[in-house]
Amino acid sequence: MSFNRHRMTGTLVLDTPMHIGTGIRELRDDGKASVSDIELDAAGNPYVTGSALKGIIRDGLHNSMPGDLHEAFKALFGVPPANAGPDEKGQSTGGKAHFCDAFIIEADGQETNSFEDTATAINEKTGAAKTAHLRTHKLVPSGSRFAFEIILDNVSEDDLEILAAIQRFLQDSGNATIGASTRFGLGRIRLESPKLEYADAASIVDWLKRDDISSWRDSLVFQAKTATWSNQIWNLSDEVHSAHVALNFDGFMLTQAGAREERPGQLSERAVPLRYDDEYVLTGRSIIGVLRARARRICATLFDGDPEDLSLFRELFGETGYSGALQADVFKAVGLCETYDHEMVAIDRFTGGGKAGAKFTNQVLVSPRFEGHLRLRVSGKANNELSGKSSDKSRPHLSDAAFGLLIFVLRDLIEGDLTFGSGATKGYGALKCVEIDSATPGSLFADILNPGSSVSLRTQAEAFLTSTQTVEAANGE
């Protein structure tokens, strides 16, 4: 095989905000809170690291890789130390594919600055926010665009097949997510205008003979290349079931942004609703938090002990280092969204009158409607040899017991028993009705919406009840 250099280029577009963190929390100017920072380039703009791109692509492809491409896959992505062969003495090998950092493409009039998102943990017993659990993250706004590039030398036909799979994986909407909190709807990316080119040995030799010093990107003569896509032997996606959900609220509702807004000429600051790109949102983190809190309460009524010790609970909601099967998009307010300044004052418990200096204001949404998707991601055991993961926490198929717990949680959601946002004790966040439409033919959500069409629902609900009774019996011994 003669020497050649291939490159795949395109534009990565963020469909939802993204957080690729530095691991560093930056103290605010007021010194009262800290913010989880994001990766920035030398010019101070957010960017997508090549290591992050390589990681999501390898993770997205390894489980669906045809057997005859395993060796080519390892050659492209490399082998981590944990999976090195006996002759390699635990040494990692670098792959021949170079994933470049994707720097931001600034469009005319585009605001590329990041914004802040604030969240808090929920106390499952009271339904209120936990004390001292406020967390703030910087996010890159949706619509941001990044220059994508992969470079490979000495590409074989098997390599071209994998390149075609990479292109398909990044182009299919919903397949690729990057950064933190992807199960809460963040970091959805897609590839636009992909292009595969190559330079042959003759072009490279001509470039090496030139007297002037110039970049190979500017000097090599690249020709268009079409990679063959064998769709029949690939299955790029996990098994994902989705449902479109509309939450219709009754009365005031507030998804509070972190900082209160100062109002000139007013005595009190004002809490304002959370917005992404000037749209009112209910974050996926909030959705999953409410569903998780309800699941804990359901489990706690059936046995003594921490519900998170149940494997079925971890299957649905995950744990540190392991993503649960249940995911939620960022829900956005639709239609006319009216706001109202709700003025309040604290009560002096000794006098029964208004407490001096304790006036506060909430800018609330009046009977809003939020729409988004719930997703149930189900897959088999991961191929740890290709993914580089030595952990046994690869996602199994969802058990009947875990799905049974989900049935009870969604039943409470549909019946309007859950509240969302802050101020539940003030009457905020109550649901008027919930509309759920299955968006996937044959979806597991369709069984819940039409219980008469599936005899397995009762079996799964009974499996959940049986599993909790088994744990209860074991704890009583």
CA distance 366 to 349: 30
Q: Is 448 exposed, middle or buried (0-12, 13-18, 19+ CB in 10 A)?
A: buried
CA distance 447 to 263: 50
Note the pLDDT of residue 385. 46
Question: Percent of the chain, pLDDT > 70?
Answer: 66
State yes or no: pLDDT of 348 exceeds 50. yes
- Looking at this protein, which amino acid is placed at residue 137? H
Note the pLDDT of residue 384. 43
Find the mean pLDDT for residues 271-297: 86
CA distance 21 to 181: 11
Q: What is the band of 381 on the pLDDT scale with cuts at 50, 70, 90?
A: very low
Helices marked H in 327-436: 384-387, 400-414
Are 286 and 292 in contact, with CB atoms under 8 Å apart?
no
CA nearest neighbour of 48 among 153, 176, 218: 176
Q: Of all helices (H) and strands (E), which one includes residue 211?
A: none
Note the pLDDT of residue 162. 85
**DSSP letters spanning 409-455:** HHHHHHTT--B-SS-GGGTTTBEEEEEEEE-STT-HHHHHH-GGG-T
SS3 percent helix, strand, coil of the chain, rounded to 5, is: 30, 35, 35
CA distance 447 to 452: 8
Q: Which residues contact 262 (CB under 8 A, 6 or more apart)?
A: 269, 270
Note the pLDDT of residue 257. 65
Are 222 and 197 in contact, with CB atoms under 8 Å apart?
yes
- What's the DSSP call for residue 278? T
Q: Is the pLDDT higher at 322 or at 274?
A: 274
Q: Is 212 exposed, middle or buried (0-12, 13-18, 19+ CB in 10 A)?
A: exposed
State yes or no: pLDDT of 1 exceeds 80. no
State yes or no: pLDDT of 391 exceeds 50. no
Note the pLDDT of residue 370. 94
Q: What is the band of 400 on the pLDDT scale with cuts at 50, 70, 90?
A: confident
Find the mean pLDDT for residues 208-229: 68
Highest mean pLDDT among 105-119, 171-185, 285-299, 382-396: 285-299
The pairing of strands 78-79 and 93-94 is antiparallel
Instruction: Give the CA angle between residues 17, 20, 25 to the nearest 5°.
Output: 110
State the angle between helix axes of 70-77 and 50-61 in degrees (0 to 180), rounded to the nearest 10: 170
Q: Return mean pLDDT, the chain.
A: 75
**DSSP letters spanning 29-94:** TTSS-EEEEE-B-TTS-BEE-HHHHHHHHHHHHGGG--GGGHHHHHHHHEE-GGG--GGGTT--EE
State yes or no: pLDDT of 264 exceeds 70. no
Q: Of all helices (H) and strands (E), which one includes residue 190?
A: strand 189-200
Name which of 96-105, 170-179, 349-358, 425-434 the model is least confident about: 349-358
State yes or no: pLDDT of 28 exceeds 80. no
State yes or no: pLDDT of 123 exceeds 50. yes
State yes or no: pLDDT of 329 exceeds 50. yes
Collapsing DSSP to helix, strand or coil, 19 comes out as coil
pLDDT, one tens digit per residue, over 226-237 is 655 555 445 555
Q: Which residues contact 237 (CB under 8 A, 6 or more apart)?
A: 64, 172, 174, 175
Q: What is the band of 125 on the pLDDT scale with cuts at 50, 70, 90?
A: low
State yes or no: pLDDT of 382 exceeds 50. no
Are 339 and 315 in contact, with CB atoms under 8 Å apart?
no
pLDDT, one tens digit per residue, over 137-168 is 788 888 889 999 999 888 888 888 888 888 88
Please name every residue paired with 159 in a beta bridge, in sequence order, or none if there are none. Answer: none
